[in-house]
Structures are given as C-alpha cells and as structure tokens.
Amino acid sequence: ELTEIASYRCFGGMLRRYEHISPVLGDCTMKLSAFIPSAADNEKFPAVIWLSGLTCNDENFSQKAGAFEAAEKLKLILIM
C-alpha cells in the first residue's frame, strides 16, 4: 500500500512522494517519487523508471536533474 507523504505543483504537473513498507526488505520503509504531467481525465502516458545509485535517492534526482520541464512537455511520467 502506497501512502502519499507530499505533493507539489511543478511545471504544470505534479510531483508526488510516497512511502510503503517492503516485506521483501524486512518490513523496511521505502520512499519513491513520481512526476505526473498535466492531463485530461483518463489520459495515459509513457513512463520512465529512474533507479538511483547507492548514495542517491528520489530527492537527489528531483533537485538536480532538471527533468520535470521536459517531462511535462513530452507528457512523460517519471518514477524515481
């Protein structure tokens, strides 16, 4: 079960942060973010999953990549 922990307007879309408990990782709390471009109801978009390295997390990508403006223009969901 995903729990939304934050959401922000970003370049016309929404950046949402979630957390969930992973039973596979010993009930560890895991966090992820998703940029969702602006859309009409029921519109579907392609998605890219970004897997951060050992010393990075979803917030590093959000702060440093500068990808959200392009993702909004391309109507691309980014999952980090």
Residue 56: per-residue pLDDT: 78
Span 26-71, pLDDT tens digits:
999 999 999 999 986 788 999 999 887 777 777 887 777 789 999 9
Residue 61: per-residue pLDDT: 79
Residue 39: per-residue pLDDT: 85
Strand 77-79 with 47-49, pairing: parallel
Residue 29: per-residue pLDDT: 92
Residue 57: per-residue pLDDT: 78
